[in-house]
Amino acid sequence: MEQLRDMYFDYVVNATYRKIESEINPNSIPDLVEAVFLNKFINTAKTASFHKIYLSQAGKIHNSMQEGFINKFAKAYSLTRGIKAELRAQMESQKYTIVNLIEKSPFEAYTNFFMHAKFNDEDKERNLASFFTKLAHTVNPNEYYCLDSYVRVYFKLHREGFFYSYCIIGAAYKKWIADNKPLLRKLRHAISSADKSNALKISELTDLKLLDMIFWAKGDTLKKEENDRKPNKSKRQPRLQHDTKAI
């Protein structure tokens, strides 16, 4: 079974790698700069505002953990809806323990605080894998990346478990980064040239963050296109009614 498991994992990682390879190449760089980095992250107010928060925290989280850090972090990443206030308060009281454990043993941090999260014995367990990926990336942006559902769908991994998808995409990202250093330098140069105001501060972003930004933007665009193709209930034709007076 171990061999079968490893073969499957490698197969899916390689498929994900090929998808990255098809999307990021010398010919696609101008379009990526325009569609992703300029349109999605500089010219869109919401993501531009978020990027400023991100820059203030990534790799320097210990300087950001003032009172209310967990609430602010969850709000910035639009995570408050799925996490009860009581659970966020509990995580706030444990934030230093959580962050320190992510630095030393991230998998242990995930299983201890995120995999079966609840604020008391009566509360329903929640798997906060998405929260974990974002916090782990903020703690160590060179080693970990953020994962959103949009990205899982884009890589056709939505039928896999969230954390398993995270491991697959992370392995593919790191393999692609190791194999494409010259291409990454070209991409960075193109972004810097287009970002006249240095709003993105590209030199402060890790290679993992660049890939995260690209595939978050592509996943977000795909989701919007799918929503646009869905029938608009408000525009559907009304059902024909029998004219009872004519009967």
62 Cβ partners below 8 Å, 6+ apart?
Answer: 99
Q: In a 3-state reduction of DSSP, which class is residue 201?
A: coil
Backbone angles phi, psi at 117, to 5 degrees: -75, 130
B/e letters for 202-230, b = 16+ CB within 10 Å, e = fewer, are beebbbbbbbbbbbbbbbbbeeeeeeeee
Q: Tokens for 85?
A: 């206030």
pLDDT tens figures, 109-141: 999 999 999 887 778 888 999 999 999 999 999
Residue 145, by phi and psi: left (phi above 0), alpha (psi -120 to 50) or beta? Answer: beta
Backbone angles phi, psi at 231, to 5 degrees: -60, 135
pLDDT tens figures, 10-45: 999 999 999 999 999 999 999 999 999 999 999 989
Interval 197-219 mean pLDDT? 95
Label residue 247 by pLDDT band (50, 70, 90).
very low
